[in-house]
Chain A
Amino acid sequence: MSDRVEPAVIFFSMGLPSPLVEWCDAVIARLVEFSLGPVDIVSANTLEELGLALIKSSTSHFVVASRMPSDGLRNVLTEHNTRYVVALDDPRAAFQNLVTKYGLDTIAATRAVAGSCASLLNYTMTEDALVLRAEREGRDPLGTAQTIARHFALDVAPADIAQIVVGLADISLTSAPSDIDTWWSDLEEPKRVIAVSALDGYVEHFAGRGLGKLIWSRDLFFVGDDPRQPADRPIDITGRIRNLVFGPYIILPPGSWVATVVLGFSREAAEVSYAIEFIAGPRCVSLCRTTIQPQGDRVFEAAVFFTVEPATDQPISLRISNERAAFEGQLVLGSVNLTQQSRGRPEIPDELRIALDH
């Protein structure tokens, strides 16, 4: 240890909020401690949060633990070829971790894991990433720790690495698949459905089959502007023009999306028109807005197209409002299905581009 002020070195540990990434955070911190000196684990997802954390801290070295790292952060890391670790796990294991260890309720846990999956989608693509998988690397703590040390070019003796691993033996990196299955089947049906339907698409993606369909159950939404009232029951539309349904405030990966919103109406409600809008972030930036008129149809399926720009990094919400004051009627949300159309910006067909340029 020297008394000189050393330049700060930052190490990034990202991942789904499962035991694996927590282990990674700890391993990287110990490795850094061994090789470089005092280290702090800070939590930051965006450049702004990172900046704040650095200013507040007094140590020289940092391990940045991110669960929903932003696109902006990724761009900077890529630009500077900064290396990082991405710890992936079965999203269900992450969910289980949040619920059992941190006591989050189903909705919050779903939101956290879904957001995490969405954020990490692009982080696995670059060369700077060391992607760890719970079912592979999670079984070999020692080997994995060594790989991490090599990835970050940390000079730590093998014996010390072994000692670090032993010291962290109480954190289990992975659960047996059967344990996960048992826990899930013990989970009450409604909660299981909420989590699985929102996360299944990502499970597909991490298994290499491409991003599947994401389904947001109505429990993730709430009535009007009151987060305490879930939209899992019929909503009385009597009243002025206002928000009827809002939620779920979950991050989506960039790309073009088509959302199928299924709504049920009582006879009177079917005669009113409604505005369906997708918005991003706390400032409610509108991504798209459409009006539907059920005109007597009791069940209505609306297909809505919107684009999530790269670097949006904002949680996405759906907002349904009545367009005229309503005397009576009830509306019930069925589900919202999301399918990604393409991964980048939509392309303008050549003939349109030519026409527009003239």
Chain B
Amino acid sequence: MISAVDITKDYWTEGRVHRVLSNVSLTVGRGEKVALLGRNGSGKSTLIRLLGRVELPTSGIVEQTMSVSWPIGWAGGVHPILTGNDNMRFIARIYDKPFDELKAYVEDFAELGKFLSEPLRTYSAGMRARFVFALSLAIDFDCYLIDEVMAAGDQRFQRRSHEELFEKRADRSMIVASHVAEIVKSYCSRALILHRGRSKMFTDLDLAFDIYNDL
């Protein structure tokens, strides 16, 4: 279970307070898939960071009793100077997973071959996206944070990503921050709309998208 209870987040810039999130609450149980809908500036990225414990809320509580992934598909977790192998070693050590297993999975999934011993900054955008996505799936989490992903790679890779995430891991929890109605409606049972820092939960996904599209 992950829960954010009555979260408020303020930022101070140039002496003025800017309230980014205001009394936001969200609970995701085991196996539940919840969508996060919000335009730029709605506080969506901030909420994801709060759920990942990167930032602390100004008030309110974030609790986790499940293991939570970093935002899947997001490239901020890898260091560009390090090679693919180095990055994998780092992750393997942090999560106590045998390096060989991890490497085998990533090699097979991302199909980067020799590039794994090259620094990440030499990768093309597509390659980096594939690497990062593969790395995300190499560790088993109870809950996956998914942030606007799945645009990387060719059709085959996309299909495979889809399969790995939504089929093989169908019993996991997911928090999906996405605009794409098809994915959300197919897999999520609820949607949280964020608008100017305020949140509302909807169990009717069609209604949620109707409202979201008009925001």
**What 1/0 flags go to B181-205 for Cβ under 8 Å of A?**
0000000000001010010100000
Within 8 A of B (CB), among A226-245: 238-240
Let me know if B200 and A327 touch, CB within 8 A: yes
* List of A residues within 8 angstroms of B64 by Cβ: none
Q: What is the distance, in angstroms, from B212's C-beta to the closest C-beta of chain A?
A: 8
Residue total for B at the interface (Cβ-Cβ under 8 A): 11
Q: Find A328's partner among B195, B210, B212 (CB 8 Å cutoff).
A: B195
- The CA of A328 and the CA of B211, in the complex, are separated in Å by 10
Within 8 A of B (CB), among A323-337: 324-328
Q: Find A240's partner among B198, B200, B207, B215 (CB 8 Å cutoff).
A: B207
The 25 listed contacts between A and B (C-beta, < 8 Å) are A238-B200, A238-B211, A239-B207, A239-B211, A240-B207, A240-B210, A240-B211, A324-B214, A325-B210, A325-B211, A325-B212, A325-B213, A325-B214, A325-B215, A326-B211, A326-B214, A327-B193, A327-B195, A327-B198, A327-B200, A327-B211, A327-B215, A328-B195, A328-B198, A328-B200
Residues of A within 8 A of B (CB): 238-240, 324-328
* List of A residues within 8 angstroms of B211 by Cβ: 238-240, 325-327
Listed from nearest, the 4 A-B pairs whose CB atoms lie closest are A325-B214, A325-B211, A324-B214, A327-B195
* List of B residues within 8 angstroms of A238 by Cβ: 200, 211
Question: With contacts defined as CB atoms under 8 Å apart, how many contacts are there between chain A and chain B in the complex?
Answer: 25
Q: What is the distance, in angstroms, from B120's C-beta to the closest C-beta of chain A?
A: 39
Identity of the chain B residue whose Cβ is nearest the Cβ of A322 in the assembled complex: B214
Q: What is the distance, in angstroms, from B3's C-beta to the closest C-beta of chain A?
A: 22
Q: What is the distance, in angstroms, from B69's C-beta to the closest C-beta of chain A?
A: 29
Residues of B within 8 A of A (CB): 193, 195, 198, 200, 207, 210-215
Q: What is the distance, in angstroms, from A244's C-beta to the closest C-beta of chain B?
A: 15
Beyond A240-B207, A325-B215, A328-B195: 14 further Cβ-contacts under 8 Å? Answer: A238-B211, A240-B210, A240-B211, A324-B214, A325-B211, A325-B212, A325-B214, A326-B211, A327-B195, A327-B198, A327-B200, A327-B215, A328-B198, A328-B200
Q: What is the distance, in angstroms, from A341's C-beta to the closest C-beta of chain B?
A: 37
- The CA of A326 and the CA of B195, in the complex, are separated in Å by 11
* List of A residues within 8 angstroms of B210 by Cβ: 240, 325
Q: What is the distance, in angstroms, from A333's C-beta to the closest C-beta of chain B?
A: 22
Q: What is the distance, in angstroms, from B162's C-beta to the closest C-beta of chain A?
A: 29
* List of A residues within 8 angstroms of B213 by Cβ: 325
- The CA of A187 and the CA of B68, in the complex, are separated in Å by 63
- The CA of A328 and the CA of B194, in the complex, are separated in Å by 11
- The CA of A238 and the CA of B195, in the complex, are separated in Å by 12
Q: What is the distance, in angstroms, from B213's C-beta to the closest C-beta of chain A?
A: 7
Q: What is the distance, in angstroms, from A202's C-beta to the closest C-beta of chain B?
A: 43
- The CA of A239 and the CA of B198, in the complex, are separated in Å by 15
| Residue from the set A238, A239, A240, A325 with the largest chain B CB neighbour count within 10 Å | A325
- The CA of A325 and the CA of B215, in the complex, are separated in Å by 7
Q: What is the distance, in angstroms, from A269's C-beta to the closest C-beta of chain B?
A: 13
- The CA of A354 and the CA of B163, in the complex, are separated in Å by 74
* List of B residues within 8 angstroms of A328 by Cβ: 195, 198, 200
Identity of the chain A residue whose Cβ is nearest the Cβ of B214 in the assembled complex: A325
- The CA of A328 and the CA of B198, in the complex, are separated in Å by 9
- The CA of A313 and the CA of B31, in the complex, are separated in Å by 59
- The CA of A240 and the CA of B210, in the complex, are separated in Å by 6
